Amino acid sequence: MREWLIQARKQKGYTQEQVAMQCFIDRSYYAQIEKGTRNPSMEVAKKIATALGVNPSTFFNDQYEEPSFLLLLRNSQMVIAYCNLQLEYMWVFNPHPDFESANLLGKRDDEIANNKGTKELMAFKQEIIDTGMKMRKKINFPTTLGESTYDIYGEPITDKNDEIIGVITISLDVTKKTSKKRTIDSKKPNKRPII
C-alpha cells in the first residue's frame, strides 16, 4: 500500500475517481497504483503528483531494491523525509528508532513529540518554505538514548510551475559518542603473553 498517496488524496478531499479523472486514467488503474500492485509510468506519476501536490519520484523510491544500498542507508543513521506545506509528513525513510512503530504519515513533528528540538525543526522547515532556499542546521533532540544531535539539510520541493509544495529534509545523526577509555591499573604488573 502507498499510504503516503492515500493520505495526500484524502488531504485534498478527493475520491479515487476524482484523481483518476484529473489524470485522464481509469479509476481501477489509479486504485491499483494506491494499493502498490501497479506502478505508474513517469507521465502518469507526474499527472498524479501535480493533482495531489507530491513529488513524482516518490512513486519510484521502492524500486531501488538493491539490498546493499538499502542496508547502507538503513545503517547510516540518516533520516530522509518529505513534508507538505502544512509540515505534515508525506513519506519518511529510516525514522529514528523511537518512532519506527509510529504512523508518522499526515502528522507534524509537534504531534509526534513535542519538545524543543521538534519545535526548532518545524521552524527550520517553515523557513525553507517561506524563503525558498536550501538550508542546513544542527538540532538537538531528546531521545530514549539521551540527547541526539542531527545535522539537517533541507530544501524546498516544487511542482512543474515552480510553486513550492513542500520541503525535503535529510537528517544525519552526528551525536558524539563518548567511549570508555581503558585505564591501566598501576598496581597490577603489566602481563605479557609468553611466546
Phi, psi of 29 (to 5 degrees): -65, -45
Domain harbouring 13, CATH code: 1.10.260.40
Distance, in Å, from the CA atom of 84 to the CA atom of 23, rounded to the nearest integer, reads 21
For residue 118, is it within any domain? yes
- Per-residue pLDDT, 102: 64
Cell numbers found for residue 23: 489524470
Tell me, yes or no, whether 26 lies in a domain. Answer: yes
DSSP 42-108: HHHHHHHHHHHT--GGGGGGGG---HHHHHHHHTTTEEEEEEETT--EEEEES--GGGTTS--TT--
Within a domain: 81: yes
Does residue 133 share a domain with residue 37? no
8 Å CB contact between 127 and 166: no
161 in a domain, yes or no?
A: yes
pLDDT at 28: 95
Task: Check which CATH number belongs to the domain holding 73 and give it.
Answer: 3.30.450.20
Q: Do 43 and 94 have their domain in common?
A: no
Q: What is the pLDDT of residue 177?
A: 62
Question: pLDDT of 57-105, one tens digit each?
Answer: 777 765 544 445 555 555 667 888 899 999 998 888 877 777 765 677 8
What is the pLDDT at residue 165? 92
Instruction: Quote the number of domains for the chain.
Output: 2
Q: Which structural domain, as residue segments, surrounds residue 41?
A: 3-53
In a shared domain, residues 124 and 145: yes
The one-digit pLDDT tens for each residue of the chain (195 residues) are 888 888 889 888 999 999 999 999 999 999 999 998 998 988 898 899 888 888 777 777 655 444 455 555 556 678 888 999 999 988 888 777 777 656 778 889 898 888 999 999 999 999 999 999 999 999 999 888 888 899 999 999 998 888 999 999 999 888 886 444 444 444 444 443 343
Give domain status of residue 182, yes or no.
no
Per the CB < 8 A criterion, the answer to whether 125 and 87 are in contact is: yes
Please indicate, yes or no, if residue 194 is contained in any of the structural domains.
no
pLDDT for residue 31: 95
pLDDT at 184: 43
CB atoms closer than 10 angstroms to residue 89: 22
Instruction: For residue 155, give the nearest of 134, 137, 170, 131 by alpha carbon.
Output: 134
